[in-house]
Amino acid sequence: MEITLNGYYTLILATLVLLLGRFLVKNIKFLENFNIPEPVAGGLVAAVVVYILNIFWGFSFNFHQGLQTATMLMFFASIGLSADFSKLKAGGTPLLIFTIVVSVFIILQDIVGVAMASALGLDPLLGLVTGSIALTGGHGTAGAWGITLEEQYGVVGATTLGIAVATYGLVAGGVVGGPVARRLIQRLGIEPTPYNQSPSDIEKVTGAQSLYSTKHDEDDILNDKEIFERPDHIRLITASSTIETLALFAGALAFAETMTLVAADTWFELPTFVWALAGGVIIRNVLTIFFNFEMFDRAIDVLGNASLSLFLAMALLSLKLWQLTDLAGPVLVILIVQTVIMIIYVYLVTFKIMGKNYDAAVLSAGHCGFGMGATPTAIANMQAVTDRYLPSYKAFLIVPMVGAFFVDIVNATVLQIFVNLPFM
């Protein structure tokens, strides 16, 4: 029996999934410790329920695709609207270098994914799903590219696989980040230290240079930077700022729709959500650079996070878990290899290029976090390290900016190149 739900009931079910996820995360320590998003926790339970209804009673569900698409586009537009390139000045050269280091890893991650998928007899495009689509990209990118791969390239089960891989990545990124950083710090000869030293003391002990002239608490740094991927962080917004921000979203989505039509069947054809991200970047930086327009980042963050949560809830409700049966073994092999590659890259590249000092070790923990999972995992990794050793103001400045939006821009560009390669 096939059941079709309109937009109202799809939205109601999505919000119920989010409430279930919130309850699970608050009451199951494992989910909280590994920063499993509430939509993922609740959505996976819902997906299992849908799977059982299908296997035993033959029920299948069709949810409102228009609403899911709209929330997906708003999420990517919010990333673009958050990408203020003037913030590059705050991080300086280390921010640029770290962005390059991360960009190279994204390319490596996709090369490994495609090569392993081909070697195991899978569609090379599934290699991208087990590469930067779901690992560096996370659940939002996995859901968006999954839909694109299914609809435009005929890759069956891409969305389901992407969500599963992204969930693995969150756990794996949280598991490996701390031990990797601890190993690197031990090589530097730094012992666990009480959290009470001044910046000059830190520089003397670690050999790292602070980007701040006075002592800051790491939470203050996080709050000041308004990290995008902190959905539970309280942000005060007003009705007027919300309407103003919705107008910016409308502009980004209109740009995406227009460019999708203009670029159709041309060499610069891109998925609509990539155009939404690009539109947000253009609108943000044109308004701030040329017109001194003051963006209300808090409203962008709130609307972006709400859109992501609703999109993930609807995407997970639409999962067809039975499509993963034949993929489980090969995919697990690829993910184990990707995890090993992540660890090796951080040891040999990230740590060394970022200075081979304490800040570089903390940055390495952060890279493991969003290289396999998401920015919240990166922040959790770094907090675990700095709570035991010393603060790292440099890492807490750089990682949120790179992980929250710069990495998504790079990832979208790299993936678009890969899907258009002749052998894909």
CA-based torsion, 375, 380, 383, 385: positive or negative:
negative
Paired tokens of 10: 């799809």
Q: How many CA atoms lie within 13 A of 208 on its CB side?
A: 28
Q: How many CA atoms lie within 13 A of 124 on its CB side?
A: 14
- At position 93, the amino acid (one-letter code) is T
What pLDDT is attached to residue 237? 83
Paired tokens of 262: 């203009």
Rounded CA-CA distance 141/253 in Å is 17
What pLDDT is attached to residue 35? 63
Q: Residues 252, 100, 179, CA angle at the centre, nearest 5°?
A: 110
Query: Minimal CA–CA distance to 372: which of 168, 101, 142, 113?
Result: 168
Residue 180 and residue 347 in contact, taking contact as beta carbons nearer than 8 Å: yes
Rounded CA-CA distance 415/408 in Å is 10
Rounded CA-CA distance 370/414 in Å is 17
Domain ranges of the chain: 2-419
pLDDT digits (tens), the chain, 424 positions: 788 888 899 999 999 999 999 999 899 988 877 667 788 888 889 888 988 988 888 888 888 888 988 998 998 899 889 877 776 666 678 988 999 999 999 999 999 999 999 999 999 999 999 999 999 998 889 989 999 999 889 988 899 899 889 988 888 888 888 889 989 998 888 877 554 444 445 455 444 444 433 334 444 444 444 444 455 566 678 888 899 999 999 999 999 999 999 988 787 788 898 899 899 999 999 999 898 888 888 899 889 889 988 988 888 888 777 767 778 889 999 999 999 999 999 999 999 999 999 999 999 999 998 899 877 788 878 888 888 888 888 888 788 778 766 888 899 999 999 998 887 7
